[in-house]
Each structure stands twice: as C-alpha cells, then as structure tokens.
Amino acid sequence: MSWHPGADQIEVMRPPAPGAAGGTYRAFAETMRGLKTTFARVIEGVHTLQYPEQKTPVYPRFRGRHRLHKFEDTGLEKCVGCSLCAAACPADCIRVVAAENTPELRVSAGERYASVYEINLSRCIFCGYCEVACPFDAITMGHDYEMSDYQRSDLIFTKEMLLAEPLERAPLRAEGE
Amino acid sequence: MPRPEHRSITFTIDGREVQAPENTILVDAAKLGDVEIPVFCYEPKLGQPVGACRMCLVEIEGIPKLQTGCSTPVKDGMVVHTQTARVKEAQAAVVEFLLINHPLDCPVCDKGGECPLQDISYGWGGGTTRFIEPKRHFVKPLELSPLIAIDRERCILCYRCVRFSQEVSEDYQLVLHERGAATFVGTFDGHPYVAPFSGNIIELCPVGALTSRPYRFRARPWDIEGSGSVCTLCPAQCNVSFTVRDERVLRVLARQNDGVDDGWLCDKGRFAYQSVHSDERVTQPLLRDGGELRPVSWERALATAAGLLKKAGAGVAGLAGGESTNEEGFLLQRLIREVLGSSHVDAAGVDPVDLWSLARPDLQASLQDVEYAHTVLVLGTEPVDDMPILDLRIRKGVRRNRVKLAVATARPSSLDASAALSVRYAPGGEGAFVTALTAAVYGGDVDAPAAAAGADVDAIRTLAELLRTGGGDDDNRAPGDVVIVWGTRLLGADGGAVTPALLKLASGLALTGRDGGGLLAVPASTNERGLLEAGVAPGLAPGFGDTGAAGESYAEAGIARALRDGDLTALYLLHDDPILSRPDAVGWDRALEKATTVVAHAQFLTAGLREHATVVFPAESYAEKEGTVTHPDGRVQRLRPAIGRQGQTRPEWWVLSELSRRLGADMGILTGAMASRQLFDAVPFYAGLTLDRIGGRGVRWPADPAAAAAFPPPPEVRRDVAYETTATPNGALRLGTFRSIWAGIEVELSPALTFLTPRQQVEMAPADARRLGVAHGDKVVVAGDGASLEATVVLRNAASPGSVFLQTGIQTDAANGLDAALVEIHKA
C-alpha cells in the first residue's frame, strides 16, 4: 500500500525569493540585526577558556572519575568487595572479585575485601549509581574528567589506580561562583 | 508401603476457592491458589514439619489463635486468611524478632542476594526495628568442617541443618547446644562435621549461617549464571546446576529431580567440580616421543593415531570407562567394529548377557519404588559408597514409610542400623549366597550353598521369610512390593551363578511386571547401563542386537590376555585407565607394556596412561560435555555444557568421527546432536527419544510401554552353572574389596576435598587383629599370590572374622594389585 499525502500534508513556509525586495531586506537588515548582538558582546571581553592551560571549574557534586577510599586512621580499605556497585551499574562496567581477609593480610575492615576492583571507564556513563549503592561509602565520584587515552585497555582502571590520590587537575567552583 | 492416594478437597484462601489434595500442608496448598505464605524452617524434603520459626502464621476461621501454615494440613471447607491485620502484625513481629540478633552484614555475607531472610524481610517485614540493645555475639567465622563455614550470629535457629543430620542423612552429628537466645548449632564434642552428605546443609540454610568454604566470597548472585546438567562422578547421576562465573565452575547446587536425587547431593558431587580447573588437566594432545609424552598439535596427534590404528587394524580393542556418555560409547564401538573390523569392545567387564537379562524392563524397579516398597533388600552393595544418593532414599523409606530393610553384604554396611535384618556372607561366596537365598524362598537345598557362602542358614531362612511375607503378621502375609537393590559387582565375583539365582528369586517373589517392585542395579561405574545399551559390550550391538561378528569377542579380561599374548596389538581407551579401574592391575600392566599402541582420551594422566599411552587426547570434563547418560533405573538423562572446553580440548565425538574419516569411513556426524540422533535410531528401545524430549528431567524408557515392548528378549540364561565355594581361610584371611565414595582422582585433585583422599586401609574384625597381634591404626603389609601392598589397619566390630576388606579405585596400593582370594597380613 503506497502512501498518499492527506491530512498529514505539511504547509511549507517559503522565504522570499533571492533578488527581490524581500531578498535585499533579508541580506542586509537581518544581518545587521545579528551583528548588533555580536558587537554588543565584544565589550564584555574574551569568554574562551584556553583549555588545557585553563580548565572549567566543576561543581562540588560533579560526577567525574571514581575514587575508592581508605579509612584515614587505620589505612584499611573501606571497600569490602560486596559487588553491590556492580549490581547497580547500568553499563555493567564494574568487575569485583572478592577474597577473604586473613590475619597476615588484612586489607579491609570486614571479613572480605576486593582482590580485584576494575572500572571500565570507556563504558561508564557516570550516572553515580555505584556511589549510591555502596553501603560503606567506599566509592565516590571524584571531580576528574580528564581521562582520554590512546588505548581502550588503559581506560580499565584498577583498584590501585582508583585508590591512589588523583591529580586534582579540575578546579572546584568556589562558593557562589 | 504403597504410594499414598489423595482425595481432592476444596478450601478457601483469601476469598479464593482452591482445589488441593487432602492433607497437603497449607503452605503448599496455598501455592495452588497463587498465595505465598513465607517460611523459614519448613522444607518438605526434611520430613515432618517442626513449626520452629513461626513465620508462616495464618488465620483459620473457627480457630481462635493464629496457626502455623507449615504444620497444618488442609481439610475440606477450611477458610484461611493470610492478609488480615492480625496476620500482618504477627508476620512483621516475627521478622523483627528474627532480626533482633541477626547482624546486618549482608554486604559481606555470601548469602546476600539469594537469602530468604532478605527476601522475607522486604516482603513481609515491618521495615523498622525498636531494638537498640547490643546484639548477641559469637566468635565468627568458624570452620564447622573443612568444607563448611559457620557464622552463629546469623543463625535464626530454624533447625533445618540439625534435622538434616538427624533425620535425613542420619549421621547424628549436628546438635543444638544450650537453650534460649544462647542456642547454637554445632557438633556434640566440637569435632568437625565430616560426613558424606554434609554439604547439603549449606543449601538448606535459609540465612548465611552455613556457607561453603570453597565458594566463600567467590561471587555474588548477580555475577553468576546457573547451568543445569548431570553429575557423572558416580552411578547416582544426580541432577546438578553448575554456578559459572567468568567461564569457571565455582559451585555445584542440587537440581531437584524426585525420580533421581530427591534434591540432595553428596559432598563428592558438590565439591569435586574443582578438579575441572585443576592444573593437572590434560589440555592438549600428547604423543609419546623418546619414551616421554610431549605436547603436539592436533593434526600430528590425529595423523599418528590414525596411522597406528590402521596398522593394527583388527588387532585393536576398545575399552570405555564409566564416565563415557552413551554417544561416545556408541561411536567407539562403531570405530572399533565398523571402521577397524575388530570385535573386541567392553565397558562393564562382566558378562553382558547377564546384565541384559537383569535389565529387563518388566523386572526394573524405579528409584522411587525404593521409597514406597514393602521390603527393600540391599544385596552385595554399599549404597553410600557405590551410589550415595540411594543411601538417603533407602533411609527415607525406612524412616517415613516404614519400609522393611534387609541388608545382605559381605562387608558390614552403614545401613545395618536401619535394617530389620542384616545377613553377612564371606567374600567370594556371592553366587552361593544368592543361590541359598533363592532356595530358601523357592524351596530347595539351602544348607549346602549357605555353607559354601560362609553364611548362617537360619539368617538366610529369616531373610527369605521377610522377603516372602513382607515382614507382616499372620493376618497380613502378602509378599508385597520387594525391591532388590543389587550391586553389579556381584556378577564380577561369581556372575555365572548369581544371574540365574537372582532371576529365579525375582520371579519367586512375583516381581515380574510388578509396579512398585523389581530389581535395581547399582553399577560399578557411572554409565555402565548406558554403555551396555549403546553396544559397548563384547558380542552385543547397540540395543542388544547381533554384531554378526565371527569368532570370539573378548571381554575385559580376554582383552588383557590377548594383549599379553600378542593376539591384539592396540588398545583404545575412552576415559579409562585399566590399571586403576579394572581387576588384576599386574596383568593389565603387562598387557599395556606389550601393546604397541595405546590411544587414550583422558582428563588426567593417571599412572597407567603416563607409563603406557602412545597418544593421549585431552578429554572433556563433565561440565563441558554434551550427550546423554542412562541412569541405573533406565532414565536417559542429558548432559549440557556449562563452560567452554579447557585449553585445546575437543569433544570426544569429534575425535572419534575424525579418526574414522582418516581411516576411510565417514560416520556422518558433524555435531554432538547428530551423534545422539544416530544412537537413538540404532537402539530400538530409545526410538522416539530426542534431546528436547529428554530435557532437564530425563525420560525413563522402561516406563514407556512402547519402548519396553521394543526391548529384545534376552537369551535363556545358563542354569547349569555351579556356584563357587568361598575360600577356606585356614589361617589366612579371605579378601574382599570395596570402593570408597572418596575414591577417584577428582577428589584428590579438588583442593577442598583432598583431605578426604582415601589411603589403603584393611578392615578387619577385632578377633582377627588380636590373633595377628595388630591394633587399630597399625601399618601392615597385606600379601597374597606373590603381590603385596601396604595398608593401615581399621578395626570394625561388625566385620565377620576370617575376612578382610581392601579398597579399590585409589591411586596407590589399590586392592586390584592383589589378585588373590586369600591374603596374609603381617606388621610392616
């Protein structure tokens, strides 16, 4: 069955044909109207940020690259390897393999710890569900957004990389800014 | 006791009229009306309900107080409410009460995500707690056994594990200590809970109090996939579900099939999966080069094997081990018979015509018959070792259905305590004993065969009386349903006399064509029955047909002899190492030494293969396999691959069909399913089977009248065979053998089970030990017929003096190294 235009027909508003009086108006008057806006902004000065020398400051709740945390007093990892972040992750980019703490090797505060904790940042959609799911506040979203790399494999962040103090390259937006 | 018959009644639940069988427990009946009543302690597999957790409280009209749904049978006209304010308040209160002492460490707990307590708290709990006092504390986590971790803080005292230990496996090890809030589960004196079925309590526990140590913290429920298959580590062929994460089997759970396993697993089935990922696995083809097996490419291995087999031609014999599937066995016999023109294939090692006669569908009892029979006779087998799940089934029948159990074995049985009658005979007197028993039932001379069997005549007569009358009183002397659970090892011992006597016994007890009674074989290896039906037997084509081969077809012992004599030159071993699994290890060692070519499919390089194999193809483990196996009661079950093949392993059906192609015959098989198709077409009583029809539950062909009618009638058994007389000790000791449940390389190579690996032990009566001057735990040398081995003395009070028992199937010092009826024992 072929399609026939009926009630669905759309009226197209045609602009004035070029060369006519309407065309002249469009080329001149409308251009001037646009330039008025442009010149009005010139006095405001330059808005361009010279990235990467200059960076956009982020809001405190900006969801950047994840961080894993340790207890400040004991130095033990907060993560117990419960894998709830992996369960919550809609992009399925977190992989956790747990292991048991022993008296000789105590990594976390609980019975278990994450022996493998990997986030594939090339798949992560930065939704922050992992942070919400974490019962121990072990994972939070940091402020770092500069993660591009030359290899996809380099975008799989391991536990050591996530635990390390990140280079705080992204400035935080000051109060009221 | 016959199966109970149920009348259908109508009751009302939440305003809905529901039809249910009378006396169904309310929790189960409610499900028929799509109403869920939450439970913790109720588990129908455990028998009588206890009503311990109070989670299932419901309101029944006419009864002023709330009732427990798990212990109330439904009656006609009953009106039940589960949604009233009273019920909801009670449910919320019970959840709050259970959570008072339950630690909230769900993120750490292995049960988290598959925990009934979590589910019920979300579904029926109040959501808040008013309890601010400190919780109860125990030391945690503790090892209840090397396989099970116990966390007593999490325990909600539902009694499930204790009931399992007391009433199902009857090992009576778990008990509840103390009273009130201080109650905790443990063994009486704190020793580890080590028992053949201990792992089941992990699956029973509704909270994370009992967790598996090998699975500890390995994965969470959302990380894993379940994959249903069948365990092929023993003839019980329990249905299992493999838990797979990242292409590795991490756990094995029971997959309830009432016709097979009743939802239980033994610890070997539950934990021996670890051997699948063992470093010892053969994962690439090996070829003997300069006296040593070296890894080679598939191309080279196949070309060499094909060349060697071609050279040997009709001088090839094939042996299939019990772990082979029906398809693998079927293709092996095609390769040996059709392609190579030899007629020597064997699997079971006993006279196949005997097995054929005893596998008749009209004599066949199903596994469920054991539970509902009037009398069960366990003859010449130890179920807990040979087919562990059957042991639980027999105990269930005795405990719940008042089945009369009789045990007739050479070795003291673990079922003796549950048996109404136990009869002992001397090892080597199997044929004579069955003859005597048949004579006692049927009439005839009992004294002579009883003496030849070394058994007590009066005990045999009492046993015959029990079988004939069902143990009833004078008014009720119907023979009833009798199930004879017999070990096919009997045939290996004195097959010629056992078969006719057993057949006569069965017809004397009117078991032919009887529903609810019959014979149930306990094979010596996993798929003995399937391989026999697939034609891996000397002189019998698939489906007990005629092979049309001229001359003698050698069975296992004949193959060994012919290899030694040079009549045969090559041996094809499918999942088999004769030095470990066959009698007469010394003879087999010489046979393999003499063979010019030994081609083997193996998962592990066992002693015989490491020494003698020419080409070794890596074999699939049971978690990787595709195909069918046949349960001893005739149920054809399907194996499905749970994980990818390890290393370069390729399927056995492919290797067999590729070898055949290289030898100039195309089998016409491109997929595993095509091999199944060929098998079902070749075996008349498998006609109409498809992999889809077999599905997850299996199909019992003897129960299908069309299939049973297609069963070829076995030839008349020889009735003239005389039984053998058991050897007279005359100062020495009679030698009997047994195979422990823990025997097998899978146990040894599973880190969790290694501690159970059996060492050779010699079981004897205290009287004999006193005479020989040895004590329990002494190291001794057992010598007989020129060979000797080392063993540790184990004293058993129930053992009959004059006989000792050694283990077979173990890696070192196995009893098949001694081919003697009598042995001498002296201190090492």
CATH number at residue A71: 3.30.70.3270
A97 and A157 together in one domain: yes
Residue B139 contacts A, CB cutoff 8 Å? no
Start-end of H helices in A43-163: 84-88, 129-133, 159-163
Q: How far apart are CA B826 and CA B828, in angstroms?
A: 6
Dihedrals φ, ψ of B533, to 5°?
-70, -25
Structural tokens at position B173:
């090890």
Closest chain B CA to residue A108: B108
Task: Tell whether B113 lies on the interface with A, counting CB pairs under 8 A.
Answer: yes
Residue of chain B with shortest Cα separation from A96: B219
pLDDT at B472 over 60: no
Range of the domain at A100: 66-163
Q: Kindly state whether residues A158 and A76 are assigned to the same domain.
A: yes
pLDDT confidence tier of residue B36, bands split at 50, 70 and 90 = very high
Residue A52 lies in a domain: no
Contacts of B108 in chain A (CB under 8 A): 80, 82, 110-112
Same domain, A100 and A152: yes
Does some domain include residue A124?
yes
The CA–CA distances, whole Å, from A134 to A41, A160, B723 equal 47, 18, 73
Q: CB of A166 within 8 Å of any CB in chain B?
A: no
Q: With bands split at pLDDT 50, 70 and 90, how would you rate the model's confidence at A8?
A: confident
Asked if the C-beta of B259 comes within 8 angstroms of chain A's C-beta atoms, the answer is no
Percent of chain B whose predicted confidence (pLDDT) is above 70 = 98
Residue A135 is nearest to which of B107, B113, B223, comparing CB atoms? B107
pLDDT at B596 over 80: yes
Interface test with A, best of B109, B138, B217, B224 (most A CBs within 10 A): B217
Kindly state the average pLDDT of the residues B294-319. 96
In a domain, A168, yes or no: no
List pLDDT tens digits, range B522-564: 999 999 999 999 999 999 999 999 888 878 899 999 999 999 9
Claim to verify: residue A72 and residue A37 sit in the same structural domain: no
Q: What is the pLDDT of residue B1?
A: 60
In this structure, what is the dihedral angle of CA atoms B124, B128, B130, B136, given to the nearest 10 degrees?
70
**CB nearest to A100's CB, from B216, B219, B223:** B216
| Domain assignment present for A101 | yes
Do residue A96 and residue A151 come from a single domain?
Answer: yes
Task: Check whether residue A110 and residue A41 sit in a common domain.
Answer: no
With a pLDDT cut of 90, the percent of chain A lying above it is 57
B533, amino acid identity: E
In angstroms, the separation between the Cα of residue B696 and the nearest Cα of chain A is 29
What's the whole-number mean pLDDT along residues A86-93?
A: 95
Chain B touched by A83 (CB under 8 Å): yes
The total number of structural domains in chain A stands at 2
Q: Does A148 lie in the same domain as A102? A: yes
pLDDT of residue B474: 47
Instruction: Please tell me the distance in Å from B104's CA to the nearest CA on chain A.
Output: 11
- Chain B: give the shortest CA distance to residue A105, in Å: 16
Residues 6 or more apart whose Cβ sits within 8 Å of residue B807: B737, B738, B739, B740, B743, B758, B760, B761, B814, B815
- CB–CB of B222 and A99 under 8 A? no
Q: In this structure, are A77 and A157 located in the same domain?
A: yes
Q: For residues A18 and A78, state if they share a domain.
A: no
Q: Which of residues 109-148 of A touch B (CB under 8 A)?
A: 110-112, 135-136
Q: Do A81 and B217 touch (CB under 8 A)?
A: yes
Quote the DSSP letter at residue A173: P
B495: pLDDT confidence band, cut at 50, 70 and 90? low
Q: How far is B142 from B150, CA to CA, in rounded Å?
A: 5
Nearest residue of A to residue B108, measured between CA atoms: A82
Confidence of residue B4 (pLDDT cuts 50, 70, 90): confident
Same domain, A30 and A84: no
CB contact at 8 A, B100 and B131: yes
Q: Considering only residues 197 to 256 of chain B, which have any Cβ-Cβ distance to chain A shorter than 8 Å?
A: 216-220, 222-223
- CA separation for the pair B422, B292 (Å, rounded): 51
Residues of B in contact with A82 (CB under 8 A): 106-108, 112, 220
* Most A-contacting residue of B104, B106, B108, B245 (CB-CB within 10 A), to test interface: B108
Among the residue ranges A76-85, B651-660, B806-815, the one predicted with the least confidence is: B806-815
Which pLDDT tens digit goes with each residue over B432-455? Answer: 999 999 999 988 899 999 999 999
Residue A170: inside a domain, yes or no? no
In tens, the pLDDT along A17-63 reads 777 787 788 778 888 999 999 999 999 888 888 988 888 889 988 99
Residue A77 pLDDT grade (very low, low, confident, very high; cuts 50, 70, 90): very high
What is the SS3 string spanning B331-365? HHHHHHHHHCCCCEEECCCCCHHHHHHHCCCCCEC
Check A81 against B218: CB less than 8 A apart.
no
Count of A–B CB contacts within 8 Å? 37
Residues A75 and A41 occupy one common structural domain: no
Please tell me whether residues A98 and A29 are part of one structural domain: no
Contact state of B223 with A86 under an 8 Å Cβ cutoff: yes
Q: Is residue A79 part of a domain?
A: yes
What's the mean pLDDT when you consider all of chain B? 92
ipTM: 0.83
Q: Which of A11, A37, A40, A14 is nearest to A26 (CA)?
A: A14
Pairing of β B615-618 and β B286-289: antiparallel
Nearest chain A Cα distance for residue B174, angstroms: 25
Please choose, from the candidates B352, B371, B684, the residue with its C-alpha nearest in 3D space to the C-alpha of residue B520.
Answer: B371
d(CA B202, CA B207): 9
Question: How far is A96 from chain B, CA to nearest CA, in Å?
Answer: 8
B103–A contact, CB cutoff 8 A: no
Closest-CA residue of A relative to B151 is A111
Answer whether A82 sits within 8 Å of B107, measured CB to CB: yes
What span, in angstroms and rounded, lies between the C-alpha atoms of A89 and A18?
Answer: 56
B106 to chain A, closest Cα gap in Å:
8
Asked if residue B752 lies in contact with residue B213, where contact means CB atoms within 8 angstroms, the answer is yes
A172: CB partners within 8 A, 6+ apart: A57, A58, A59, A60, A143
B107 touches chain A (CB under 8 A): yes
CA distance B219 to chain A (A): 7
d(CA B816, CA A47): 91
Out of A87, A99, A135, whose CB is closest to B222? A87
pLDDT per residue as tens digits for the range B244-288: 999 999 999 999 999 999 999 999 999 999 999 999 999 999 999
Rg (CA), chain A: 27
Kindly list the residues from chain B whose CB atom is less than 8 angstroms away from the CB atom of residue A114: none
Cis peptide before B38 (omega within 30 of 0): no
- At residue B176, the 3 state secondary structure works out as strand
Cα–Cα distance for residue pair B602/B617, rounded to 1 Å: 6
Show the domains of chain B with their CATH numbers: 8-83 (3.10.20.740), 286-348+527-695 (3.40.50.740), 355-522 (3.40.228.10), 733-827 (2.40.40.20)
